[in-house]
Structure 1
Amino acid sequence: MEQDQGDDAHARDWLEAELADTLDEDYELEMSEPALSLEIRKIYRKAHPPSLERRDYFRKLLELQSELIKLQDWLQYSGEKVVVIFEGRDSAGKGGVIKRITQRLNPRVARVVALPAPSEREKSQWYFQRYVPHLPAAGEMVLFDRSWYNRSGVERVMGFATEDEVEQFFHDVPEFERMLVRSGIRVIKYWFSITDEEQQLRFLMRIHDPLKQWKLSPMDLQSRVRWEQYTKAKEETFARTNIPEAPWYIVEGNDKKRARLNCIDHLLTQIPYEPVPHEEVHLPERVYNKEYERAVLPPELYVPQKY
């Protein structure tokens, strides 16, 4: 009983320390960003009711991230394989939630895959071929920041795929995902949904922020022009690929903080992880050699201490 109380107290102390550190980092990031247009700020604030308090948000995020660590341990212990697909509108928040999921995890266990546009050689291959090498081995979770659903989304809307190729994709993808599930891979699919007005505001924020302009590509700007075409493509994708073995889950993304928490919380419910045995870790004593003398390194090897 005393041991349990001690563990609980230790966990609370850890949470408070991590919370303080995370808040410091968040403030630092906020202060380092260039001042945005005051008019854009006013518009954005007016369009958004108050979200979660910063401290409440980070406290819950840290609690969920501690559960993700337990999930990671279970994956390694059980040898399970997980694929998580993140799709949705440009600027809908996919990257933000992926960053929070992987933030405290071992990158050898939780890998992010964000493939560039296919090369000429890849265009000549079986469509799914470029994705297959990135599928998880035992004990791994792979997060696809966009996936094979590019074919029924951006490739279709922008004219990079013919209607015959899109139709072939719709015919193939349910069986492809069933094959993955039969092979022992859990497939979880998220669609991040935001309103037309919210995407416009986020694009404006990126345009006016030099540190975020890299996030805007010509393809992103075209997505504004072709909003309705993307909507139709999304609706058909859901209708034809929402299979029992790998259903779609929609994340309401207008409120970034709530979207991140809701998505992580839901992801944790989709995998039956449980506590796994751990060997007690002890830090070994350092070995000292009386004969050893540390060499003096030349000063030019050191990074200048400007700060």
Structure 2
Amino acid sequence: MKDNANMLLDGKTVFVTGATGGIGVPLVNLLRARGADVVAYNRAAQGNLMENIDTTCKALREDTPDILINLAGINDFNHAENQDYDALVTLNLLVPMRLCQAVLPAMRTRGSGQIVNIGSMVGLIALPHMTGYAAAKSGLKGFSDALRRELAGTGVTVHHIAPRAVHTSMNSGKAGLLNHRTGVTEDAPQDVARKIADAIERNEPDVRIGWPERFFALLNAVMPAMVDKGLRKNAAIGEDILKPENAHANAKVTMIVPNRDTTPRSHNA
């Protein structure tokens, strides 16, 4: 017999993007273990989600799940002028917005549904050398808040879940080296997946994973100048990591430090 906590997912249909990545794999397995019928967008089998957004939205309008989980995303640790903002903003922000638009008509009509947007603590504490990712993830937070307030009383709920750094392939490379040199904690993917599933079952609207990150997010909201000063060391270390002459040494260290990737790649790929 299943416990009461698991009954909330039992029999629900779920559509998940980024389902083949570091967080996505354990999340899909956990959702299925709790009784959900999961449809996972698989980049390897179905192609680039950004390129297939129209057909994916059409499919969701025609067969709308009980729960939409927007997990797919990409990151890029680099100087602002060298980042691919089109890709970063499209996959991290515009794609989730489009998918939400696709499921909303049916969810509104039947008076039920859950939309789960996976953000990042970087969207709440904007970090140097992550300008595109920070912009997109802060945008996703604002979108989620606005949509949740718009849907109040409809039976459709919106959840924004913001993990801190996670020990995945996205966290390998130069930004991962930054994590290592600055002592940033990386959570295990299965732990983050469990927190996401629990938040869905508990109907929690806003979940921020990690301490002291939650405190610094609050501090950043009320005293941003103080956080500016606190992040100067991170910015200096980042500049050192990004120096062309350090590329070879960084590559060697990256081989033994499993952290964040420097190139735009799905953190669920």
How high is the TM-score relative to the length of structure 2? 0.40
How high is the TM-score relative to the length of structure 1? 0.36
